């Protein structure tokens, strides 16, 4: 639902408070978003759930703003602020309102066991008592195997306390490595969970959500942001994540010393162990983690810490912006240009824009830390609030692949060979997962297509199946062409799996690891980077996820194999995305080379590689967008309709576009991915200088045409 409803209640309620209401003859949870003068004939709120609000006034205002800004159901946004697990760890108390009954606060179950339900009902009706749900009365207990294990003291002190061979084994394993989970310790040493718990009681080890990076080398950097932060919004650009962290570390420390908390957003969960390790090592503070890859109990621990108001650093992915942190004093967004901050599924939102809004409403500073920043950062911020780190020298090689017959050019193989001989590591980036993105027939040209989507299925050789990366549909491999009947189906193109096979052929003695997000947990991915840095891995192969690690001293070469596919996509952001990826890659290399294989050596984006002048590139892009009324010089709304019948879908989407004739509209047309998950898609774009007006018109049209099947995306980082 994208609107609010009126109910009455005889007592004062707090903004953001949860209540039970009768909605369409069913009991439903509602959230208090405001109050108006009483009106006759409206329904009454059935019950207060918590007896108070977990949210601040600013939290409620932010949710209302996001609902309007991104055309998202307001109730779903509130559900992200107060997740369902809150009730699992809460207890209901009976609290006296009147002193006449001489009653102290009791747990509901204790009150019922002593006085019974009739007495409670009577007291509630007379207003003698009220029910109040108190959160965190039950302590969340995360699954131990998911937690990290760290030594509780120095190596010498630990060895002095240790008495058994098992304890020595665990201590030596933890000291030689970093960031080990309980599961990894058990597998490596054979020591069971009960023995680890006994070691914890002895003070030898402790369990934590985040690792401590003992081997991290602090990068020398005397630069730092002004401690006062007179400007409330700063953009810290260029340099590695470590250098940018050093620039803002004094501001983090000062915020905590003032007794306030920090919200630190990061795009991918695989980056969190490294960032939290830096925070713990150099600031020595408790870190609370919040993202979709941790267990419910871990999320609950962080959420309850957020509402307590004690000064802590909260690190999370985009969902972290919904943490109702009390006493928040600073917001930091790392790699704010990453599209992972945008939620394409309902409720749609942009976590970076919400973080900026949160900071603005609370009048607290926000720091956007990034290799390049977003293009609209340079349009919005003046230079006094942009903190540029000095550029390192770049060694870049662009290889023209127009005359190459192999997926790996001769020049690239030569550079890889030299890098390995110098005992340096290699990172290879490929856009697609699997063995090959297409499977075609050599005789008739038939391509294996997903039956639910209008896209080719990828071939995954390791699992011996065809897989659709849009809907997840899989089929067993068969080389028999269903069209001409010949056994001539063969894989075309390449993905990470095929590149791995080719590299193993050329470098049989190299230690090679492929990173695929759907096969690895965030902690495992982190450990792959640690193993790479230790010299236990020579070549890492992966999609753009490998660019979201951190600066690795061992990287001697990073190679981009197939960025050409992004250059000509029907998306106004594609050029910017390529530039951002290349800049991220360049920051991962120190005293090494970056290689880009391309058949578009004269392309303007490729030419900018040799300067990495972000401001110059962005200002050129901004001028083009200004001429065409693209963001940030207006808002772009993508309207998508999904229909089970293509003819009916075309008729409806055309009617919708025609109803908006006074708006600037591009389309409607068939979506580039016309069929997705069994439904046919059409879309059009609206350029607008009055977003609220346009969304209101769309809502009115949807009401007439039917609201089912529509998707509205405001300023998406890519067309959905």
pLDDT in tens, 467-484: 998 888 999 998 899 899
609 and 510 fall within a common domain: yes
Contact 642, 648 (CB under 8 A): no
Residue 49: is the preceding peptide bond cis (ω within 30°)? no
Range of the domain at 30: 18-134
* Token pair recorded at residue 385: 């609030």
Please check whether residues 189 and 261 belong to one and the same domain: no
In this predicted structure, the answer to whether residue 178 has a pLDDT above a threshold of 90 is no
CA 224, CA 226: separation in Å to the nearest integer?
7
Residue 429 sits in the same domain as residue 568: yes
In percent, how much of the chain has pLDDT > 70? 92
- Indicate the pLDDT class of residue 217, thresholds 50, 70 and 90: low
Task: Specify if 699 maps to a domain.
Answer: yes
Q: Which of residues 575, 596, 620 is at a domain's end?
A: 620
Q: Which of 495, 513, 501, 504 is nearest to 425 (CA)?
A: 513
Q: Which of 239, 219, 258 is nearest to 365 (CA)?
A: 258
In Å, how far are 160, 167, 170, 272 from 163, measured between CA atoms?
8, 7, 12, 34
**C-beta contacts of 19-27 below 8 A and 24+ residues apart:** 19/45, 19/46, 19/47, 19/48, 19/49, 20/45, 20/46, 20/47, 20/48, 20/49, 21/45, 21/46, 22/46
196, two tokens: 């680890």
Assess if residue 54 is contained within a domain. yes
Instruction: Please tell me the predicted confidence (pLDDT) of residue 720.
Output: 83
Residue located via tokens 């772009």: 636
Write down the pLDDT at residue 539: 95
Q: What is the model's pTM?
A: 0.86
Q: Tell me, what CATH number does 333's domain have?
A: 3.40.50.300
Give the burial string for 390-424 (b: 16+ CB within 10 Å, else e): eebeeebebbebeeeeebbbeebeebbeebbeeeb
Q: Are residues 109 and 149 in the same domain?
A: no
pLDDT at 560: 92
> Which of 11-20, 487-496, 561-570, 635-644 is least confident?
561-570
Q: If phi over 0 gives left and psi between -120 and 50 gives alpha, with beta otherwise, what is residue 637?
A: beta
How far apart, in whole angstroms, are the C-alpha atoms of residue 506 and residue 425?
A: 16
Q: Which two three-digit tokens encode residue 398? A: 């662009």
pLDDT of 552 higher than 80: no
Question: Residue 227: its pLDDT value, please?
Answer: 59
Higher pLDDT, 42 or 209: 42
Task: Examine the domain organization and report whether 54 and 87 are in the same domain.
Answer: yes
Is the pLDDT at 521 greater than 70? The verdict is: no
444: in domain: no
Based on the fold, state whether residues 258 and 360 are members of the same structural domain.
Answer: yes
Question: At which of 193, 208, 223 does a domain end?
Answer: 208
Check residue 381 and give its pLDDT: 74
Number of H helices, E strands in the chain: 23, 32
Contact 196, 202 (CB under 8 A): no
- 243, 334, 615 from 238: Cα distances, Å: 9, 12, 11
Candidate from 106-115, 176-185, 412-421 with smallest mean pLDDT: 176-185
277 Cβ neighbours under 8 A, 6+ residues apart: 178, 179, 210, 211, 212, 213, 216
Domain annotation covers residue 291: yes
Task: Provide the pLDDT for residue 230.
Answer: 63
107 backbone dihedrals φ, ψ, rounded to 5°: -60, 145
Helix segments in 214-295, DSSP class H: 241-257, 272-283
Q: Is residue 461 part of a domain?
A: no
> What are the helix (H) ranges across 12-127?
57-70, 74-81, 85-88, 108-115, 117-126
Q: Do 381 and 406 lie in a common domain?
A: no
Residue 549: pLDDT band with limits 50, 70, 90: low
- Is residue 270 one of the residues assigned to a domain? yes
What DSSP state is assigned to residue 678? T
Which value, in Å, is the radius of gyration of the alpha carbons in the chain? 28
Count of domains forming the chain: 5
Least confident among 124-133, 324-333, 538-547, 695-704: 124-133
Residue pLDDT, tens place only, 33-89: 999 887 888 899 988 888 889 999 999 999 999 999 999 999 999 999 999 888 888
Q: What is the pLDDT of residues 133-162, one digit of tens each?
A: 777 667 776 667 767 888 777 777 887 888
Mean pLDDT of 555-565: 88
Residues 173, 71: one domain?
A: no
CB-based contact 276:245 (threshold 8 Å): no
Range in 317-326, 335-344, 581-590, 696-705 with the lowest mean pLDDT? 581-590
684-704 mean pLDDT: 95
Give domain status of residue 228, yes or no. no
For range 581-605, the mean pLDDT: 84
CATH of the domain at 665: 3.30.70.600
List CB contacts of 37: < 8 A, sequence separation 6 or more: none
Lowest mean pLDDT among 102-116, 249-263, 458-472, 522-536: 522-536
Residue 463 lies in a domain: no
Query: What is the model's pLDDT at position 65?
Result: 97
Closest to 371 measured CA to CA, from 237, 177, 210: 237
Residues 101 and 242 in one domain: no
Q: Which of 716, 712, 708 is nearest to 679 (CA)?
A: 708
Residue 262 has pLDDT above 90, yes or no: yes
256 and 180 within one domain: no
How does pLDDT run across 286-313, given as a tens digit for each residue? 789 999 878 888 899 899 999 998 999 9
- On average, the pLDDT of the chain sits at 87
Alpha helices in 394-507, H assignment, sequence order: 410-421, 496-506
Q: For 179-183, what is the mean pLDDT?
A: 75
In the predicted model, is pLDDT for residue 229 greater than 70?
no
**Mean pLDDT along residues 558-575:** 84
- For residues 530-555, average pLDDT: 82
DSSP class of 686 = E
Residue 255's pLDDT is 93
Q: How confident is the model at residue 314 (pLDDT cuts 50, 70, 90)?
A: very high
CA distances from 598 to 229, 260, 264, 426, 502 (A): 43, 49, 36, 19, 19
The pLDDT of residue 213 is 60
Q: Do residues 305 and 426 both lie within one domain?
A: no
Summarize the confidence of residues 632-637 as an average pLDDT.
Answer: 94
Shared-domain flag, residues 264 and 125: no
**Mean per-residue pLDDT, 693-719:** 93
């Amino acid at each position: 639902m994208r609107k609010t409803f009126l109910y009455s209640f005889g007592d004062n309620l707090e903004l953001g408070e949860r209540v039970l209401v009768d909605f369409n003859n069913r009991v439903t949870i509602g959230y208090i978003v405001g109050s108006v003068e009483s009106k006759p004939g409206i329904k009454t709120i059935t019950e207060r759930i918590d007896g108070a609000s977990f949210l601040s006034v600013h939290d409620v205002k932010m949710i209302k703003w996001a609902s309007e800004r991104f055309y998202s159901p307001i109730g779903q946004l509130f559900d992200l602020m107060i997740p369902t697990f809150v009730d699992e760890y809460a207890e209901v108390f009976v609290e006296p309102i009147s002193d006449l009954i001489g009653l102290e606060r009791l747990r509901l179950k204790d009150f019922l066991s002593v006085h019974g339900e009739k007495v409670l009902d009577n007291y509630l009706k007379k207003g003698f008592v009220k029910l109040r749900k108190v959160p965190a009365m039950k302590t969340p207990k995360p699954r131990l195997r998911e937690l990290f294990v760290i030594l509780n003291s120095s190596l010498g002190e630990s060895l002095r306390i240790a008495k058994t061979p098992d304890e020595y084994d665990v201590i030596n394993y933890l000291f030689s490595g970093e960031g080990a989970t309980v599961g990894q310790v058990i597998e490596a040493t054979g020591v069971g969970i009960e023995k680890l718990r006994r070691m914890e009681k002895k003070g030898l080890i402790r369990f934590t959500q985040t690792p401590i990076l003992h081997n991290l080398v602090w990068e020398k950097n005397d630069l730092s942001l002004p401690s006062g932060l007179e400007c409330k919004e700063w953009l810290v650009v260029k340099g590695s994540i470590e250098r940018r962290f050093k620039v803002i570390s004094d501001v983090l420390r000062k915020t905590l010393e003032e007794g306030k908390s920090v919200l630190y957003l990061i795009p991918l969960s695989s980056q969190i162990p490294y960032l939290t390790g830096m925070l713990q090592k150099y600031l020595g503070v408790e870190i609370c983690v919040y993202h979709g890859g941790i267990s419910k109990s871990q999320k609950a621990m962080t959420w309850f810490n957020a509402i307590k108001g004690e000064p802590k650093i909260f690190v999370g992915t985009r969902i972290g912006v919904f943490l109702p942190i009390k006493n928040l004093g600073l917001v930091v967004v790392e790699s704010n240009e990453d599209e992972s901050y945008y939620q394409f599924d309902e409720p749609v939102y942009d976590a970076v824009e919400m973080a900026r809004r949160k900071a603005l409403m609370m009048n607290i500073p926000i720091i956007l830390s990034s290799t390049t920043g977003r293009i609209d950062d340079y349009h919005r911020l003046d230079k006094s609030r942009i903190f540029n780190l000095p550029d390192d020298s770049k060694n870049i090689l662009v290889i023209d692949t127009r005359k190459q017959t192999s997926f790996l050019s001769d020049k690239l193989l030569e550079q890889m060979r030299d890098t390995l001989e110098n005992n340096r590591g290699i990172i290879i980036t490929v856009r697609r997962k699997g063995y090959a993105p297409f499977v075609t027939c050599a005789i008739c040209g038939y391509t294996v297509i997903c039956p639910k989507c209008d896209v080719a299925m990828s071939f995954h050789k390791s699992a011996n199946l065809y897989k659709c990366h849009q809907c997840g549909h899989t089929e067993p491999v068969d080389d028999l062409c269903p069209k001409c009947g010949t056994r001539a189906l063969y894989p075309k193109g390449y993905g990470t799996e095929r590149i791995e096979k080719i590299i193993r052929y050329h470098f049989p003695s190299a230690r090679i690891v492929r990173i695929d997000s759907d096969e690895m947990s965030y902690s495992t991915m982190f450990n792959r980077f640690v193993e790479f840095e230790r010299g236990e891995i020579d070549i890492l192969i992966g999609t753009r996820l490998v660019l979201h690690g951190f600066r690795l001293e061992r990287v001697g070469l990073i190679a981009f194999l197939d960025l050409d596919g992004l250059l000509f996509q029907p998306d106004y952001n594609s050029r910017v995305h390529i530039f951002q990826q290349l800049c991220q890659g360049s920051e991962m290399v120190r005293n090494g080379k970056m290689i880009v294989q391309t058949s578009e050596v004269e392309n303007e984006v490729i030419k900018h590689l040799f300067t990495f002048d972000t401001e110059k590139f962005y200002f050129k892009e901004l001028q083009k967008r200004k001429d065409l009324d693209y963001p940030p010089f207006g808002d772009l709304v993508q309207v998508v309709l999904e229909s089970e019948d293509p003819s009916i879908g075309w008729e409806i989407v055309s009617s919708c576009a025609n109803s908006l004739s006074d708006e600037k509209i591009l389309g409607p047309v068939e979506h580039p991915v016309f069929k997705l998950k069994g439904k046919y898609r059409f879309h059009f774009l609206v350029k607008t200088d009055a977003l609220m007006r346009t969304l209101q018109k769309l809502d009115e049209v949807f009401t007439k045409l039917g609201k089912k099947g529509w998707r509205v995306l405001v300023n998406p980082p890519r067309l959905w």
